Structure 1
Amino acid sequence: MAQRRDRRLSPQQGKMLTRASKLGGPVDLGGVRLSDLEMVGLLQVLKTDLEKSYDQNGRLEKPSSSTGYFSMGLDAFTDPGAVRDVAEALLREDRSYLVTALVQACEEIPDFMSAFEALCEIHKRRLKFRRIVAEQRIPEIEDISPRAILEWGIVPGQELESFMRWRKWFYDIDNRAAQETGYMLTKVMSLVLGGQYHSAKTSPIRRMGYTGGTHRSVDCIAGRTAYDFKARMTDAPSRRARLEDELAFARDCFTSGFKPILLVLKEDDPELSQEMIEAYAMYDGESHFGDAAWRHIREVASPTMRRFADLYVRGPMEAVDGDHQLHPMTVDMNPERFGLIVSPPLTAEAPEPKRKQPRAPYEPPKRAKPQKIVMPRWEPKQTDKQKK
């Protein structure tokens, strides 16, 4: 599109706008593309949300658990309605209105470009996940029939096959939700902290013990700080299998000249985190959990991105978090339709939810501080022609 090359945008802003408009490959292969119409609507909503964040003295107000964006629904930016109609009218008057509005917003609100790219990332992931739910195939019984050994005769035979297939479908959807959430948080939190995600190809972090100069991917590098993001810690077997590699992250950052920092957004059982805490402390790093992680984010992020994180990341997480009752659920499903009805809580008393005990202040183990290994500064390799 012509407006992507508008000279009113700096080269960096032009690249950020291009990244914000697309996710993945072509649309017919699972990718997502945002039109100018959708992006103008997102820009207007974001600007309104951020402007409401400041009081008359310019101080940040207390964040609410919901914003205009989350209360609108995904179709508000494409279906006829107030948001779409306004955006359409603005683009009709000025075909390059997206750039015009973006330049103006960047002048009025510091770091608006980063906030806009982060909101576009959230919106694209939500659009993609809605399509995943709609297109996820129902598994065939042949794929899961051995599991009937556990339940045959316990669940009535006529119902067992359907129950197993729908249960597997829920499991597959939840796996995809976890995957998309991980990708989204990595991108968004990197923008919040003013850093950048690095794949193994571009990362300056070397893996120790590997020949050939192998590097490791990093969730975020900001200056000389390398971040590892986690929504929560778990003792699942899948995590235990990769624990050694996670513990090695702090060591690899240290030997490559970077400070490792672990951010876990949800408070967890200290016993699950002890090995990680000790590993990061050993290599001059930091580890923050729950409220401490959010305090670190607020200290590092700019005022605009701090507010963005409160509104668009922490707000939705806390809105569904707490000691809520588990309501009974009725599932109405067939291959063409899927629906859920969550009923009011039953009159019978539900078991008292377990409340987490507050984390005791962590004291790093007393041990000899490792000797620092001085590594040469990372530089891209030169070809033979470049050397000549």
Structure 2
Amino acid sequence: MGNLTRERVSTGRPGFAPVDLGKVPAVDALLERLGLGPFDRDSLVAPVGRNEVWAGGTAGGRKVFVKRLVGGDDDIRARMRRLLSFERFSAELSSSALRGPEFLGCDEEARIVAFEYLEGARSGAELMVDETFDDALAHAVGRAIGLLHDSPVREPGDLDGSAPELPSPALLQALPQRMFDNLSFGELQTWRLMQSDSALIAAVTDLRAREEEAPRVPAHCDLRVDQLLVTDEAFYVADWEEFRLADPARDVGGFAGEWLYRSILDIATSRGDTVFMDTDLTHESVLRRGAEKIERLRPRIQNFWYGYRETAGRADAELAARATAFAGWHMLDRMIAGSPQRARISGIERAAAGVGRGILLNPERFAATLGLGERA
């Protein structure tokens, strides 16, 4: 993340102190070329994210969000290509139901992109936590993603056709030496746990085979609630770096997985028992203790699914089952994502992964339970 310092930014929410723009002159240079003028340093904040980011006003009075992609060179080039392919693709969309923040321009060589800054927007993750992410918003997001998936692709060659790396049967068999050498203890523990599970490996292998046979549609492929930006007037879907032609089940399962994971976290935190968070738990005990909470949040998934089915005319008969499997994988993906910061896997992470594993092994059984069934 560069030289970022954790602090409270001017929004009053947790954030980071922005990277010194004097060390990244290409940012102001891009803004100057776009006719916006350089950043007003006193206005800058840095919203939390995996990249280097700056948000604030410019000398020309425009509110701007700038992102500098970080990572390996090949990864950055691929993410930049996908991001720019979405901007070209979205310019031809006839519906205004799906929108991202306005794209202002980029410097590909410096791996920098600029967007309109939606000052005052709240992320879907914030709304989830304070329980103001309602059924109407879930339904509207479902409709928008359905329209995306149903959109015609005039230039298929412009879109990435490769599948996302995870879930990967190959990595569940063995890790490349370079990857292994850079893993933390928590990451090693996570991968060792999954690699010792032959049933899980078989389920992931089956899911990827089913994905290979599925229709390919324009898809976000990293659809999480923190990618949603909500204002008083509209919502926006951000971070299109994984956009590609892919199985629509990835987006549906990603949204469902977010709410399933939130349900499991609520089971732990509602007890007010920090020991519960770090005790080895079985997924059966989590489901037994938390059936009411899972049922309480299921309408978010259900209304997303209803909205999605209203607009996704090309939804195939196996979509719900594959999406359920991807929702199950989301639990394991969360464990992987959190492992670099942890010395060991917590009890609640094991429990969530156990729930996801059970769903992955038998997705047809759990589709309706999650809310991906037919409307009554």
Give TM-score scaled by structure 2 length.
Answer: 0.29
Specify the structure having the higher radius of gyration (Cα).
1
Point out which structure has higher relative CO (alpha carbons under 8 A, 6+ apart): 2
TM-score by length of 1: 0.28
